[in-house]
Amino acid sequence: MAASATARVAAALARRRVSRVAEWARRVSAFSLVLFVTAGVGHRYRLVETVAFLWTLALVAALAVLGLALAAGGFVRLWRHGDKAGRASLAATLLSVLVLAPYAAGAWLYVRLPALTDISTDLDEPPRFAIAPNFRDGQMNPIAPIPPEAASAQMRAYPDVAGRRLDASPDRVLAALAPVVAARGWTVRGHMPTSSQTPEVSIEMETPSFLLRFPADAVVRLTDEDETTFVDMRMSARYGPHDLGANARRIRAFMAGLAAELERQSLEIIDIPPSDGDVDRVD
């Protein structure tokens, strides 16, 4: 009797239908992940233009949501009809959640932070872009004076984004600036000055983000204050109505990196190794 009951259960399990909804859920969710990675790599290495990449990101999100919806349908088929849908639906759910996690983080930043694309450490007299406006087309955010409402929103959201006074001459700051820019993979527009001929020097740069290389522009202004140099920075995202706080974070990191590099170079200057003639000889 027990053997026959076991056989009947096994036969019933063998006759369970494979849920097509669950299988499609897994396929759609997996494709959304593959498309996300492929498009991200393509954009990072400049094989995909930014506008096309943004549209692809929208398609990826839609596919991931569709995968979740189909996975829910697969779970329903499993519960109501006993279809083979559990593994495929679970895989689709995990894949879709993985894909949608960055979107959820971006949505949280979008709601939490003000919709700004142009951030400056000096809101009264922001560093001026002289070259970048010539490289922006109609699909990009225009570079314009920062309006008072945007300045007020920045001060409320990022009160710590401010210029920095460095205890060094402009020439020494320029010497520290070059490796900091190079380490971030940024490109200076025009010639990188090695010395300051005027009381104020501005350096414009293309400043793509680290991972996905979203394009942005920045200008750093050095003001000679005799014994010190005051550094201001302005960064402007090229695309989108919201930078998700990226400009403020990157300005903070750049200022900290510049100060650290200046300190490192100062220690190198102080710690001068002795010349051969200064070393005591042992006969």
pLDDT digits (tens, 9 = 90+) for 71-92: 999 888 877 877 887 888 999 9
Q: Are residues 130 and 248 in the same domain?
A: yes
- Half-sphere exposure of 89 toward its Cβ, with a 13 Å CA cutoff? 20
Last residue of a domain, one of 78, 112, 146: 112
Domain boundary among 53, 80, 112: 112
Give per-residue pLDDT as tens, 138-163: 999 999 999 999 999 999 999 999 99
Answer whether residue 197 shows pLDDT above 90.
Answer: no
Which residue in 71, 44, 63 sits closest to 103, CA to CA?
A: 63
Give the domain-ending residue among 77, 112, 147: 112
What is the residue range of 59's domain? 7-112
The Cα–Cα gap between 39 and 54 comes to 9
Burial label, 128 (beta-carbon count in 10 A; 0-12, 13-18, 19+): middle
Which pLDDT score is estimated for 72?
Answer: 92
73 versus 7: the higher-pLDDT residue is 73
Is residue 162 located within the same domain as residue 250? yes
Residue 42 to residues 103, 137, 208, 219: CA-CA distances in angstroms?
Answer: 19, 22, 14, 27
Q: Are residues 124 and 242 in the same domain?
A: yes
Structural domain includes residue 232: yes
Regarding whether 234 and 150 lie in a shared domain, the answer is yes
- Report which of 242, 246, 245, 218 is spatially closest to residue 232, judged by C-alpha positions: 218
pLDDT at 40 over 90: yes
**Dihedral of alpha carbons 256, 258, 264, 266, sign:** negative
Q: Based on the fold, state whether residues 151 and 28 are members of the same structural domain.
A: no
Q: Is residue 280 part of a domain?
A: no
Domain assignment of residue 213, yes or no: yes
Q: Which pairing describes strands 187-188 and 164-166: parallel, antiparallel, or unpaired?
A: unpaired
Q: Read off the pLDDT of each residue in 90-113 and give the average, rounded to a whole number.
A: 97
